[in-house]
Amino acid sequence: MTSVFLTARWQHIVLANYAVDQRILQEYIPSGTELDPLEGETYVSLVGFLFAGTRIMGVSIPFHGLFEEVNLRFYVRRKVEGEWRRGVVFIKELVPKWAVTKVARWVYHENYATLRMGHRIEFDHTQAAQEITYTWESRAIACKMNADLRGARDASSDEHARFFADHYWGYSRRNDSKTIEYQVEHPPWVLREPVRFQLAGDLLGTYSRVFSEALSGGPQSVIVAEGSEICVHRGSVL
């Protein structure tokens, strides 16, 4: 197993899942992997969450202890010694910290972008999240994703929900023939299905037309994970 590169806590994770035509993903599939469909459908997910307590190789980075990320990803798999490694491929990842963008591009060849971002979490008297909002600015126009958890149902045993939460590998294209593979470790998350989800703003300014159109159609499902401590291992080239 490769050494740990990054540790953090991912928390208040919102995953909005959209069925798409698999043809729009073909150019993004890393060499050595294949699409991982769910019940015959291919999905992309728009994911918002908070990075907290971030450390690189055990060292905390000043002014990077807490920040937002919003990413657009899809799902792939790779067979190793007869078993499937189920992973994700990121189409684009948004963060408010330019240093995170530079490190992620350099170490993992990921498509990070630095934007002005924000968040708002509303809690009940037990400190359980009741509403989660992530915002980002693209071409000076605000975008927002919002999940209302008042009355949300427990989705931890839902196989459909677990599909989106339980991928523990990341894959990125180094070039047409080489792929970077890295492992992400975390315990199974507690999942909830919100009662309402909203996505608004200039998505075309953030993503290409084909993906902005896919996201404008509304998600097939939305889940929220409480999150956990995570560790991301160094990548290896396949």
Low-confidence winner among 7-16, 61-70, 196-205 (lowest mean pLDDT): 61-70
The whole-number pLDDT of residue 61 equals 66
pLDDT (mean) for 41-59: 87
Q: What is the mean pLDDT of residues 195-214?
A: 90
Of 110 and 49, more confident: 49
User: What is the per-residue pLDDT for 62?
Assistant: 58
- Distance, CA of 169 to CA of 183 (rounded, Å): 5
Report pLDDT digits (tens) over 91-148: 999 999 877 888 778 777 888 889 999 999 999 888 889 999 999 997 767 899 999 9
Percent of the chain with pLDDT over 90: 68
pLDDT tens track for 171-187: 998 888 899 999 999 99
**pLDDT (tens digit per residue) in 66-94:** 899 999 999 999 999 999 999 999 999 99
For the chain, which domains are there?
A: 4-237 (2.40.400.10)
pLDDT at 221: 96
> How high is the pLDDT of residue 69?
94
Residue 87: its pLDDT value, please?
A: 96
pTM: 0.92
Q: What is the mean pLDDT of the chain?
A: 90
Beta-carbon contacts of 45 under 8 Å, excluding residues fewer than 6 positions away, are: 15, 16, 17, 18, 72, 73, 74, 75, 164
